[in-house]
Amino acid sequence: MQTSDITVIGGGLAGTEAAWQAAERGIRVKLYEMRPQTMTPAHTGGALAELVCSNSLGSNLINRAPGLLKEELRRLGSLLITTADAHRVPAGSALAVDREGFAAAITQRIQAHPNITLIREEVTTLMQTSRRSVSETASGPVIIASGPLTSARLANAIHELTDSDAPLLDGAPSRNSGLYFYDAIAPIVELDSINFERAFRASRYDKGEEVAGDYINCPLNAEEYRSFTTELVHAEQIALREFEKEDAHFFEGCLPVEVLARRGENALAFGPLRPVGLRDPRTGQRPYAVVQLRQDNAAGTLYNLVGFQTNLRYGEQKRVFRLIPGLEQAEFVRYGSMHRNTYINAPYLLYPTLQLRSHPEIFFAGQIAGLEGYAGNIMGGWLAGVNAARWLQGQELLILPPETMSGALIHYITHADPETFQPMKANFGLFPSMEKHVRGKRARGEARAQQALAALENVKAEIKSEG
């Protein structure tokens, strides 16, 4: 029956999981993948679910956020995580896979599924009628899972679709309505790891709209500033790929902190590290320079380094940024990075069911929805696939509980500040505070995991009772 079709765009991590979950619920799925005819700048072949870079899906320990996320997915019957388990290679406590074996197995399972039709074609339009318009052939929900390297024509179509959503939320600036091509991301650290013997809370006096104390400030004297900038300009960078160099050129206005530092000895002290309007309460003086950190999640447990978009190697970021007074022991939940990254402004555009607010029959999943990390993208695919099927079957759509890692991540991407939104990966900072304080990082992780897995049982019961 034509009316029970779901269309999935993109046969990557999110798209294959979404297609599988819907197909397993008896829905016929058309899965569009443009490779190998049309390649992205990072994929190497035509296999579905190709891992574009690392072959590691991160920690497998359930007292760590990435490990907990994978355990939740296992319990929810994720095709990709159970296949990753089957193709595991030795990597200590991490889940790393034989990438070719993994992608070949997923391709085989998808192609063999009686409810899935794999169409090797680039989707170029969404709403208008044209030869390869999805709307022309789609009669049911559409799941967009075309990833960070979405083809240019589809990106334009998504931009048109999401831009028309701008009036939905009052007062939000129009730059928040559409699709981002972000090439530079600043690191995020855990609040608990900041040393408040050195750092202090304050806002600049000249920013009237800010509430006092909104920022965490790390003050540097002249000597500390010199030694920090010297290390920064000499730190090792990640080599850019050709397509990324083009993008970096486009985003001249959003320079990496190390590039800005090379422009002059005091470029940072007059730029993002300017101390104007700030006094160090320990000395009563204006510091020579100040690194500011801005709250990054509603719970106030994560802070990003303002103006610190960077292309340094991860190890170098840890070494150099820990030279900043107050960040000596900083725990990084996300490192800064630079690569082409196409994603929508999810807090502005999506419901926690992953439906587009203005077109509830359209779902977004994976990196384009603002999720980061392989497992996070798989989870987005799982939820979009399940919810698109439930939509067709007339069932209430699932909102994952925020006590689960999956639910906390979806909650973040759909409730973060649209002004500063950037993709997010699984981390414990996204959870609501625990009612009872548990001492010790490991014990806290265990407690989080127990709470999450108990909450997941309710989701499983809900799926089962209606299934």
Ligand X SMILES: Cc1cc2nc3c(=O)[nH]c(=O)nc-3n(C[C@H](O)[C@H](O)[C@H](O)COP(=O)(O)OP(=O)(O)OC[C@H]3O[C@@H](n4cnc5c(N)ncnc54)[C@H](O)[C@@H]3O)c2cc1C
Minimum CB distance to ligand X, residue 124 (Å): 6
Minimum CB distance to ligand X, residue 253 (Å): 21
Q: Does position 401 bind ligand X by CB under 6 A? A: no
Q: Does position 383 bind ligand X by CB under 6 A? A: no
Q: Does position 79 bind ligand X by CB under 6 A? A: no
Minimum CB distance to ligand X, residue 302 (Å): 18
Q: Does position 407 bind ligand X by CB under 6 A? A: no
- Give the span between the Cα atoms of 437 and 439, in whole angstroms: 6
Q: What residue number has its CB nearest to ligand X?
A: 12
Give me the residue label for tokens 């000596």: 328
Q: Does position 422 bind ligand X by CB under 6 A? A: no
Q: Does position 110 bind ligand X by CB under 6 A? A: no
The Cβ of residue 171 has, within 10 Å, a number of other Cβ atoms equal to: 4
Minimum CB distance to ligand X, residue 369 (Å): 8
Helices (H), ranges, 76-221: 79-86, 99-112, 134-137, 152-163
Write out the binding residues for ligand X, residues 32-51 only, by CB under 6 A.
Answer: 32-35, 40, 42-43
- Give the span between the Cα atoms of 74 and 151, in whole angstroms: 31
- Give the span between the Cα atoms of 288 and 316, in whole angstroms: 24
Q: Does position 54 bind ligand X by CB under 6 A? A: yes
Q: Does position 52 bind ligand X by CB under 6 A? A: yes
Residue 160 or residue 328: which is nearer to ligand X going by CB?
Answer: 160
Among 6, 8, 14, 158, binds ligand X (CB under 6 A): 14
Write out the binding residues for ligand X, residues 116-155 only, by CB under 6 A.
Answer: 122-123, 145-151, 154
Q: Does position 31 bind ligand X by CB under 6 A? A: no
Of residues 431, 422, 375, the one with CA closest to residue 188: 422
Rg of the Cα trace of the chain?
Answer: 23
- Give the span between the Cα atoms of 245 and 312, in whole angstroms: 15
Residue 143 or residue 278: which is nearer to ligand X going by CB?
Answer: 143
Q: Does position 342 bind ligand X by CB under 6 A? A: no
Among 6, 7, 8, 9, binds ligand X (CB under 6 A): 9
What φ, ψ does residue 344 adopt, rounded to 5°?
A: -85, 165
**Residue 36, preceding peptide bond in cis (omega within 30° of 0):** yes
Q: Does position 21 bind ligand X by CB under 6 A? A: no
Kindly give, in sequence order, each residue whose CB lies less than 8 Å from that of residue 162, ignoring residues fewer than 6 positions away.
Answer: 177, 178, 179, 344, 345, 349, 356
- Give the span between the Cα atoms of 381 and 78, in whole angstroms: 9
Q: Does position 10 bind ligand X by CB under 6 A? A: yes
Contact indicator for 430, 388 with CB cutoff of 8 Å:
no
- Give the span between the Cα atoms of 269 and 282, in whole angstroms: 20
Binding site for ligand X (CB under 6 A): 9-15, 32-35, 40, 42-43, 52-54, 122-123, 145-151, 154, 339, 366-368, 373-374, 377
